[in-house]
């Protein structure tokens, strides 16, 4: 290994710090450097940087990848979904318990845009599948199913509470009607196919 290659590897090693795959990454880039030497007959430091990138940038990309784990991705979407429901529940409670003008305006706007909200929420599930497919490829199939089932719990709980009138129907007027309930059930049924489509699209992007 010449001086330029040694300098490049040392800088990359310093930038990778305690990355769990540090040794394999260094070995991979050592192989790249060797191939470059065979191809060009030389490997000055500027040439290495031009062809392989700055050690700082390389290390940053590897660190970002290491930070993305199946568990983190799963709980990110679970928390986002729960946050959506908690936000809706909070708004509902505030609207019915407090006579605040801004909640009246917001509530009226949301009830008029119920269909749009359902479409946006469906897009959220497509995004869930896409991100899992893009980040984990084929290995994300089981993760998608597990994340979907966990995320679906608040949906099913709310549907149960509303259908069996544990939550007063008047709280959701003028939304609560048989057509609206059927539409919600229909949207819930298509959520998994939508997330699967997103997953397949994301998996193609990961290749």
* pLDDT tens digits, one per residue of 118-157: 889 999 999 999 988 888 877 788 889 988 898 888 888 8
The upper half-sphere exposure of residue 195, i.e. CA atoms within 13 Å in the direction of its Cβ, equals 25
Same domain, 114 and 195: yes
Which of 24, 126, 132 lies closest to 68, judged by CA?
132
Percent above pLDDT 90 for the chain: 15
Same domain, 138 and 128: yes
Same domain, 96 and 139: yes
* pLDDT tens digits, one per residue of 56-75: 998 888 777 665 567 777 88
Between 65 and 24, the higher pLDDT residue: 24
Mean pLDDT of all residues belonging to the chain: 84
Evaluate whether 128 touches 77 at the Cβ level (below 8 Å): yes
Which range has the top average pLDDT, 60-69, 70-79, 98-107, 177-186? 98-107
Same domain, 91 and 187: yes
| pLDDT value of residue 204 | 83
Same domain, 9 and 56: yes
Percent above pLDDT 70 for the chain: 92
| pLDDT value of residue 69 | 67
Same domain, 102 and 189: yes
| pLDDT value of residue 129 | 92
| pLDDT value of residue 54 | 92
Between 39 and 94, the higher pLDDT residue: 94
Evaluate whether 78 touches 147 at the Cβ level (below 8 Å): yes
- 1 Cβ contact list (under 8 Å, min separation 6): 9, 30, 33
CB contact burial 182-193 (16+ within 10 A = b; e otherwise): eebeebbeebbe
Q: Which of 19, 49, 66 is the last residue of a domain?
A: 66
* For residue 115, pLDDT beyond 60: yes
Q: Which of 13, 38, 66 is the last residue of a domain?
A: 66
Instruction: Using DSSP, state whether 18 is helix, strand or coil.
Output: coil
Residues 135, 186, 203, CA angle at the centre, nearest 5°?
Answer: 15
Evaluate whether 144 touches 163 at the Cβ level (below 8 Å): no
Q: Which of 66, 85, 109 is the last residue of a domain?
A: 66
| pLDDT value of residue 1 | 64
Per-residue confidence band for 195, with pLDDT thresholds at 50, 70 and 90: very high
Hey, how many other C-beta atoms are within 10 angstroms of the C-beta on 81?
21
Residue 136 domain boundaries: 68-206
Q: Could you give the number of structural domains in the chain?
A: 2
| pLDDT value of residue 89 | 83
Dist. CA 171–CA 90, nearest whole Å:
12
Same domain, 21 and 93: no
Dist. CA 182–CA 163, nearest whole Å:
11
| pLDDT value of residue 193 | 94
Same domain, 167 and 79: yes
| pLDDT value of residue 199 | 93
For residue 146, what are its two tokens?
Answer: 């597990």
Same domain, 25 and 76: no
| pLDDT value of residue 174 | 61
Same domain, 55 and 75: no
Same domain, 88 and 189: yes
* For residue 92, pLDDT beyond 90: no
| pLDDT value of residue 22 | 86
Same domain, 21 and 120: no
């Amino acid at each position: 290994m010449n001086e330029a290659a040694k300098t490049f590897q040392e800088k990359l090693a310093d930038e990778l710090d305690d990355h769990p795959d540090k040794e394999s990454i260094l070995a991979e880039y050592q192989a790249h450097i060797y191939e470059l030497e065979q191809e060009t007959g030389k490997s000055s430091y500027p040439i290495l940087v031009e062809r392989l990138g700055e050690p700082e940038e390389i290390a940053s990309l590897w660190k970002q990848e290491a930070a993305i784990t199946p568990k983190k991705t799963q709980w990110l979407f679970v928390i986002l979904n729960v946050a959506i429901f908690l936000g809706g529940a909070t708004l509902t409670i505030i609207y019915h318990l407090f006579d605040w003008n801004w909640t009246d305006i917001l509530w009226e706007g949301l009830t008029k845009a119920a269909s749009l909200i359902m479409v946006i929420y469906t897009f959220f599930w497509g995004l869930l599948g896409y991100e899992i497919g893009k980040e984990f490829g084929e290995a994300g199939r089981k993760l998608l199913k597990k994340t979907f089932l966990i995320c679906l719990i608040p949906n099913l709980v709310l549907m149960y509470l509303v259908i069996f009138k544990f939550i007063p129907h008047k709280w959701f007027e003028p939304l609560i009607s048989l057509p609206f309930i059927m539409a919600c059930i229909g949207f819930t049924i298509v959520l998994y196919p939508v997330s699967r489509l997103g997953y397949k699209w994301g998996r193609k992007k990961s290749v």
